[in-house]
Amino acid sequence: MEPIIFKASDRISKHYKRRVEQILSRFEDIRELIEHQPSKGTRVEKEIRQFLIDFLPEMYQYSSGIVIDSSGSECDRSKQSDILIIDKFFNPKLFIDEEPSIYPVDTIYCGIEVKTSINEEELESSIKNIESLKKLAYINDKVTYNKGNSIIVSNTSPPIGIIFAFDSVFKTAETLLKHYGDSIENIAPEHRPNFLCILNRGIIGLNQNNKPAIEMFGLIGQDSTGTIGEMTTTSSELYYETGGHNYPKIKFGKDYYIVDPSRTMLGFLQYLIDSLLNKVIISKTNILNHYIPEEMKRKIGFEMK
């Protein structure tokens, strides 16, 4: 007898289950109706952008464009698959009415690569794109801020880099982790993605030993004894069908674990918020002083005698 799907009673879990089901339904429509890959990617990116706009606080601005640093280096984040999360409160917009938009790296909280499905090529290109963003030279400064009842002094830090995908051609945890490990092998640790979220697989990052690791958010079941746990199956079919829904799977060793995308999305949002809260950007500093060259600050003054 198969376990009964455990249904969460809390309002948050039920809400995001509905929202993720809506997004996945639109994603399937996009995948079936649009054969042209760039158009498909654009539609998928819009779905995720709108979801984030609805979810995150208004202190963050969403855009895409070119990111520069004070040394003159830049990287192009104007592709449709890119999302930039930008400081809206603490720093002025240095470039007005530019197309594509131009942002100092010091005002960037996060860059997100959005992919319809991750394969080896897409994984490597996304990691390289994040590397190019994190390589930009940010202003090294100390920032004081309140956290709870404490006053914290922290150094500014590089932008967060995240990859988000709906699906992947990699069906097993071993294959996924191997390709991820191979792709980041020649990337400096400080320039690697903070994490990779694949809605139909799990969240991939690095463990304490700097080795690739995956967290899988399984579909929760409850057996006849009342025991609650992640549901598994021995079937190698791509999806597990129950209650009118098709749930994806990922293979760990000999077992196929059934993935709950709504729980994966909640995990992604938790990691995203934690990352944003820990990201320190420059504030209460005149950023123009860092971006205007010294020769352009030359001036001649006369005083009345």
pLDDT at 141 over 50: yes
> What is the pLDDT, as a whole number, of residue 36?
52
In degrees and rounded to multiples of 5, residue 202 shows phi and psi of 155, -165
One DSSP character per residue, 172-233 reads BHHHHHHHHHHHHTTS-GGGS-SEEEETTTEEEEE-TTS-EEEE--BPEEE-TT--EEE-EE
Tell me: the pLDDT tens digits for 144-197? Answer: 877 778 888 889 999 999 999 988 999 999 999 999 999 999 999 999 999 999
Query: In the block, which residue shows the tokens 């700097």?
Result: 210
pTM for the full predicted model: 0.88
pLDDT at 34 over 50: no
